[in-house]
Structure 1
Amino acid sequence: MAQQATPVRTARLGRALGPEPTAVSGAVLLLPAGEEISARRPSPLLATASVRALGRRLSRTGREDGLVAHVVHYRYRGWNGPEAHLAADADWAVEEVVRRYGDVTVCLVGVGMGGRAALRTAGHEAVNSVVALAPWLPEEDVAASPEPVKQLAGRRVLLVHGTNDERSDPELSFRLAARAKKANRDVCRFEVHTDGHGLRQYRDEVIALTEDFVMGAVFGRALSRPVQDALAAPPPLGLRMPLAAGFGRSLRH
Structure 2
Amino acid sequence: MSEPRNDGVQQPALIVTRPCAAPRAAVLLLHGGRADGLRPPPPWNLPEARMRPIGARVAEATAGNSVLMGRVRYRYRGWNGPRADAAYDARRALDELAEAAGEVPVVLVGHSMGGRAALSAADHPLVRAVVGLAPWCPPDEPAGHLGGRTVVLLHGDRDRTTDPGASAGFVRRARDSGARACALTVTGGDHAMLRRPGIWHGLTAGTVAGLLDLAALPRAVSVALDSEAAQKV
TM-score by length of 2: 0.91
Runs of 4+ in 1 over 4 A off after TM superposition: none
Unaligned runs of 5+ in 2: 1-5
How does 1:1-253 map onto structure 2 within 5 Å?
A: 7-17=8-18, 20-46=19-45, 47-138=47-138, 140=139, 146-184=140-178, 186-219=180-213, 221-233=215-227, 235=228, 237=229, 240-243=230-233
Matches of 1:231 and 1:7, distance apart in 2: 43
In 1: Cα distance, 2:152 partner to 2:169 partner: 14
Q: Does the residue aligned with 1:91 lie in a helix, a strand or coil?
A: helix
Give TM-score scaled by structure 1 length. 0.84
Larger Rg: 1
Taking only the aligned residue pairs, the percentage that are identical comes to 37
Q: Distance in 1 between matches of 2:179 and 2:97?
A: 27
Partner SS, residue 44 of structure 2: helix
**Kept after mapping to 2: 8 A contact 1:51/1:71:** no
What's 1:247 paired with?
A: none
1:119-172 per-residue CA deviation (whole Å, 9 max, x = no partner) reads: 11100111000011001133x3xxxxx211112111111001011111111111
Rounded Cα–Cα distance in structure 2 between residues aligned with 1:118 and 1:81: 16
Deviation digits for residues 87-110 of structure 1, max 9, x if unmatched?
A: 000011111111111121111110
Structure 2 CA distance for partners of 1:85 and 1:6, relative to 1, 3 Å = closer
Letter of the 2:26 counterpart: A
Which structure exhibits the higher relative contact order, with contacts defined as CA atoms closer than 8 Å and separated by 6 or more residues? 2
- Indicate how the Cα distance of structure 1 residues 52 and 201 shifts in structure 2: closer, same or farther if over 3 A, else same: same
Which 5+ residue runs of structure 1 have no aligned equivalent? 141-145, 244-253
Change in 2 beyond 3 A, CA 1:148/1:206: same
Q: Secondary structure at the match of 1:161?
A: strand
**C-alpha distance 152-119 of structure 1, shift in aligned 2 (>3 A):** same
Indicate how the Cα distance of structure 1 residues 218 and 123 shifts in structure 2: closer, same or farther if over 3 A, else same.
same
Q: Aligned partners of 2:219, 2:186: CA distance in 1, in Å?
A: 17
* Shift, 1:21, TM fit: 3.9
